[in-house]
């Protein structure tokens, strides 16, 4: 649930919809008013959740969370935790998986009406999490704990105080959940949806959030919104910090630049928008036959794989006119909500749709349609970024519908046959890349074992317990890791630029595929915002994610030609792939490893406590054109940092 990476574009929706677990809690609302904890769904006589509510749920979650912590970081014991809560400076660096479980314990504390303990746990996480991007997490929980610890007439001030702790750059994403959840019925629908899954640590965490943590927040929603508005007004009264200067380069008309072949590997891209720059396999016509005899039909501009009931073999996925009309505003609306513009038409449309999702069925329909709009928009937006200022590029398109997961593998996992089909598609793409000498491939795609496990928990008849779920999820994930390693190894002369992912996780700790795979021709990219700061959502790892690029509210084109800002490492990655294309246009002789080294060496170092560099096009190309030009350091003083 928590940070399920679906299409990275949907990250923000996930933040809003499903950030359950690690966020916030209340006295037992079920005890006070049993009606509140009854879902509208028809009673399921054999539901494993029957005995898993109220106190029983808290006891289960507490025990399961501690068992997990014992596995991942044994030095974190209940006694040790008690000491660190009073003195966080004594605590060791907390692993990501420990942090997840500590959030569970904070939720339990809040649900048991101990907001002081909940607050201390969140503060410990903020101070000791190894991932420094977690230093700003848990705002929902903290704000609710503050409300409950304050006198009635001081509650709003106490809530505002919590929001004031956030840097302005992180404020918007922390406030969306308060806007999205408007009614108790919405929360009940979420809970009923969780109740369709197997009981496990992860689903219990989500269940506790929706059953016991979120209801009192929704009940006092006006207070939170008014505190948020007050802090936002304070921000707006201050001058906005100067934006970071990304130093982009336009190669239009550059005499020293040559044609370069690049590819977008995504879930669908509109070729018509890029007609002038499409790669063309002249030996192939679009006529339903395999003209060049390579085993692929109509591979004139790239390759397509789709399966399932609504499969189509176009380079662009088409969700249908009605779906687009109704759900396209989401792309912009979520951004508006983050920016505090709740009154825009797009934001209002988002809120109305969310308010209407008051049953598991309605929620599912909403999710399906949002995923469909994401699948429609994602690859085109990415391709638009890859081509900016690079008229020398010729773009091939690979569309792998399975890489989006959410439509094909909705509430289930892939079968062995489907995994074999994924592999066949990957092998065909590798063949295409080699045959046509594609030099740079952007893959804003990511797979997590947690996401697969979460879907498998809906298949209760097939996987009766969480052990079975985890075993199958691990097997699926291992095959995918193998598939991606295979294409990287099969195309050593091609640079693969890969999105780090949007779950605020360490890619190595969580084994994110392909971002955790180490290869000399793979460059993993994280996201920074327009002030050059790590995005709240970006995945990271000090060794594996060294390059960051612009990935928050990044304007680019969607399939109908409109320009819309979207956020995600999905947007950061093609910005860097674009730089790699420019580098190759100027010097086609470079190897993938040389390109990576050049980008790393000429990037702007990101200040502590974060790490890595922000790709700098000007300096990379300057170094390429004038090899004596200084690496980073030479012009650092001129940089605008905005902090
Ligand atoms: Ca062919
Ligand atoms: Ca053909």
Quickly list DSSP for 527-589.
Answer: EE-TTSPBPTT--B-TTT--EEEE-SSEEEE-TTS-EEEE-SHHHHHHHHHHHHHHHHHH-TT
Residue 303 CA to ligand 1 centre (angstroms): 9
Q: Which residue has the tokens 């995504």?
A: 266
Q: Which ligand is nearest to the CA of 298?
A: 2
Residue 281 CA to ligand 2 centre (angstroms): 10
Residue 589 CA to ligand 2 centre (angstroms): 32
Within this chain, do residues 190 and 270 fall inside the same structural domain, yes or no?
no
What letter does residue 42 receive in the DSSP assignment?
A: P
Half-sphere exposure of 278 (CA within 13 A, CB side): 18
Q: Which ligand is nearest to the CA of 294?
A: 1
pLDDT at 635: 44
Residue 316 CA to ligand 2 centre (angstroms): 18
Within this chain, do residues 266 and 203 fall inside the same structural domain, yes or no?
no
Give the span between the Cα atoms of 495 and 584, in whole angstroms: 10
Residue 302 CA to ligand 2 centre (angstroms): 12
The secondary structure of the chain in percent helix, strand, coil, rounded to multiples of 5, reads 50, 10, 40
Residue 398 CA to ligand 1 centre (angstroms): 14
Residue 305 CA to ligand 1 centre (angstroms): 14
Q: List alpha helices for 7-95, DSSP H.
A: 11-18, 29-32, 54-72, 78-86
Residue 488 CA to ligand 1 centre (angstroms): 22
Residue 264 CA to ligand 1 centre (angstroms): 19
Of 572, 587, 602, the residue at which a domain comes to its end is 587
Q: Closest by alpha carbon to 389, among 585, 593, 635?
A: 585
Residue 281 CA to ligand 1 centre (angstroms): 9
Within this chain, do residues 563 and 505 fall inside the same structural domain, yes or no?
yes
Within this chain, do residues 85 and 31 fall inside the same structural domain, yes or no?
yes
Residues with CB under 5 A from ligand 1 (ion): 284, 290, 292, 294, 296, 299
Residue 269 CA to ligand 1 centre (angstroms): 20
Q: At what angle do helices 466-490 and 416-435 cross, to 10 degrees?
A: 10
Residue 266 CA to ligand 1 centre (angstroms): 20
pLDDT at 339: 81
Residue 283 CA to ligand 2 centre (angstroms): 8
Q: How many domains does the chain have?
A: 2
Residues with CB under 5 A from ligand 2 (ion): 284-285, 287, 289, 291, 298
Residue 240 CA to ligand 2 centre (angstroms): 54
Residue 493 CA to ligand 1 centre (angstroms): 22
pLDDT at 8: 32
Q: Closest by alpha carbon to 609, among 243, 135, 173, 172?
A: 135
Residue 302 CA to ligand 1 centre (angstroms): 10
Residue 293 CA to ligand 1 centre (angstroms): 5
pLDDT at 29: 38
Residue 300 CA to ligand 1 centre (angstroms): 7
pLDDT at 240: 86
Within this chain, do residues 222 and 299 fall inside the same structural domain, yes or no?
no
Q: Closest by alpha carbon to 123, among 112, 108, 114, 134?
A: 134
Q: Is residue 358 part of a domain?
A: no
pTM (2 d.p.): 0.91
Q: Which ligand is nearest to the CA of 289?
A: 2
Residue 106 CA to ligand 1 centre (angstroms): 57
Q: If 0-12 CB within 10 Å is exposed, 13-18 middle and 19+ buried, where does residue 347 land?
A: buried
pLDDT at 24: 29
Within this chain, do residues 43 and 157 fall inside the same structural domain, yes or no?
yes
Q: Is residue 265 part of a domain?
A: yes
Cα dihedral sign, 106-107-110-114:
negative
Give the span between the Cα atoms of 552 and 535, in whole angstroms: 7
Residue 298 CA to ligand 2 centre (angstroms): 4
CATH of the domain at 440: 3.40.50.200
In angstroms, what CA-CA distances link 423 with 16, 415, 418, 485, 486?
A: 33, 13, 9, 11, 9
Residue 301 CA to ligand 2 centre (angstroms): 11
Residue 557 CA to ligand 2 centre (angstroms): 29
Q: Is residue 345 part of a domain?
A: no
Q: Is residue 643 part of a domain?
A: no
Within this chain, do residues 159 and 280 fall inside the same structural domain, yes or no?
no
Query: For all residues of the chain together, what is the average pLDDT?
Result: 90
* Nearest 10 degrees: Cα torsion 147, 150, 151, 157: -70
Find the radius of gyration of the CA atoms of the chain.
24
Question: Tokens at residue 267, please?
Answer: 């879930």
Regions in the chain scoring below 50 on pLDDT: 1-41, 633-643
Q: Is residue 33 part of a domain?
A: yes
Within this chain, do residues 161 and 287 fall inside the same structural domain, yes or no?
no
Within this chain, do residues 94 and 130 fall inside the same structural domain, yes or no?
yes
Q: Is residue 331 part of a domain?
A: no
Q: Is residue 243 part of a domain?
A: no
Give the span between the Cα atoms of 643 and 169, in whole angstroms: 10
Q: Which ligand is nearest to the CA of 287?
A: 2
Within this chain, do residues 311 and 183 fall inside the same structural domain, yes or no?
no
Residue 422 CA to ligand 2 centre (angstroms): 22
The backbone torsions φ and ψ at residue 589, rounded to the nearest 5 degrees and listed phi first, read -80, -10
Within this chain, do residues 177 and 303 fall inside the same structural domain, yes or no?
no
Within this chain, do residues 287 and 232 fall inside the same structural domain, yes or no?
no
Residue 436 CA to ligand 2 centre (angstroms): 16
In b/e form, how buried is each residue of 485-498, taking b as 16+ CB within 10 angstroms? Answer: bebbeebeebbbbb
How many angstroms from the chain centroid is the CA of residue 111?
Answer: 28
Q: At what angle do helices 115-128 and 139-149 cross, to 10 degrees?
A: 150
Question: Tokens at residue 639, please?
Answer: 């940089």
Q: Which ligand is nearest to the CA of 299?
A: 1
| Residue 158 belongs to domain spanning | 8-237
pLDDT at 642: 35
CA geometry: angle at 160 spanning 159 and 163, to 5°?
95
H or E element that contains 399? strand 393-400
Q: Is residue 21 part of a domain?
A: yes
Residue 286 CA to ligand 1 centre (angstroms): 9
């Amino acid at each position: 649930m928590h940070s399920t990476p679906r299409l990275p574009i949907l990250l923000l929706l996930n933040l809003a919809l499903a950030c359950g677990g690690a966020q916030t809690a209340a006295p037992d609302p079920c005890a006070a008013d049993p009606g509140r904890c009854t879902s509208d769904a028809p009673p399921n006589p054999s539901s494993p959740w029957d005995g898993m509510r109220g106190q029983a749920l808290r006891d289960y979650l507490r025990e399961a969370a501690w068992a997990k912590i014992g596995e991942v970081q044994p030095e974190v014991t209940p006694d040790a935790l008690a000491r660190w809560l009073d003195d966080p400076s004594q605590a060791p660096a907390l692993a990501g998986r420990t942090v997840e479980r500590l959030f569970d314990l904070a939720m339990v504390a809040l649900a048991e009406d101990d907001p002081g303990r909940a607050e201390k746990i969140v503060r410990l996480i903020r101070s000791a999490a190894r991932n420094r991007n977690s230093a700003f997490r848990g705002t929902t929980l903290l704000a609710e704990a503050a409300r409950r610890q304050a006198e009635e007439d001081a509650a709003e001030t106490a809530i505002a105080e919590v929001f004031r702790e956030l840097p302005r750059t992180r404020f918007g994403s922390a406030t969306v959940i308060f806007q999205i959840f408007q009614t108790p019925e919405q929360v009940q629908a979420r809970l009923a949806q969780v109740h369709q899954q197997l009981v496990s640590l992860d689903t219990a965490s989500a269940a506790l959030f929706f059953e016991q943590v979120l209801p009192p927040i929704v009940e006092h929603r006006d207070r939170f919104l008014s505190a948020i508005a007050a802090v936002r007004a304070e921000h707006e009264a201050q001058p906005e910090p100067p934006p970071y200067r990304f130093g982009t380069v336009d190669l239009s008309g550059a005499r020293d630049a040559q044609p370069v072949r690049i590819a977008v590997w995504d879930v669908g891209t509109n070729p018509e928008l890029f007609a002038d720059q499409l790669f063309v396999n002249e030996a192939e016509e679009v006529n339903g036959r395999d003209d060049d005899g390579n085993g692929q039909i109509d591979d004139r501009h790239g390759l397509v794989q789709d399966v399932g009931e609504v499969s189509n073999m176009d380079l662009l996925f088409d969700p249908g006119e009605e779906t687009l009309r109704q759900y396209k505003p989401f792309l912009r609306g979520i951004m508006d909500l983050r920016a505090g513009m709740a009154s825009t038409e797009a934001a209002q449309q988002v809120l109305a749709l969310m308010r209407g999702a008051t049953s598991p069925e309605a929620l599912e329909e909403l999710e399906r349609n949002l995923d469909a709009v994401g699948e429609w928009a994602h690859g085109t937006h990415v391709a638009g970024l890859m081509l900016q200022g690079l008229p020398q590029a010729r773009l091939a398109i690979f569309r792998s519908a399975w890489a989006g997961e959410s439509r094909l593998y909705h509430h289930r996992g892939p079968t062995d046959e489907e995994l074999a089909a994924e592999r066949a598609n990957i092998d065909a793409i590798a063949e295409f890349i080699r045959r046509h000498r594609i030099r740079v491939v952007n893959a804003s795609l990511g797979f997590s074992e947690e996401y697969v496990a979460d879907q498998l928990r809906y298949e209760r008849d097939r996987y009766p317990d969480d052990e079975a779920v985890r075993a199958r999820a691990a097997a699926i994930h291992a095959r995918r890791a193998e598939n991606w390693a295979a294409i990287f190894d099969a195309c050593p002369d091609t640079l693969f630029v890969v999105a780090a992912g949007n779950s605020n996780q360490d890619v190595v700790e969580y084994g994110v595929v392909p971002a955790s795979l180490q290869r000399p021709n793979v460059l993993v990219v994280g996201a920074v915002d327009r002030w050059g700061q790590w995005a709240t959502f970006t995945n990271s790892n000090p060794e594996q994610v060294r390059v960051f690029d612009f990935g928050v509210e990044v304007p680019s084109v969607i399939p109908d030609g409109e320009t819309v800002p979207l956020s995600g490492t999905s947007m950061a990655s093609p910005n860097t792939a674009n730089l790699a294309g420019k580098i190759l246009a100027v010097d086609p002789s470079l190897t993938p490893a040389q390109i990576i080294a050049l980008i790393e060496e000429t990037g702007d170092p990101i200040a502590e406590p974060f790490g890595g560099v922000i790709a700098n096009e000007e300096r990379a190309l300057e170094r390429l054109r004038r090899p004596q030009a200084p690496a980073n350091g030479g012009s650092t003083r001129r940089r605008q940092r905005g902090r």
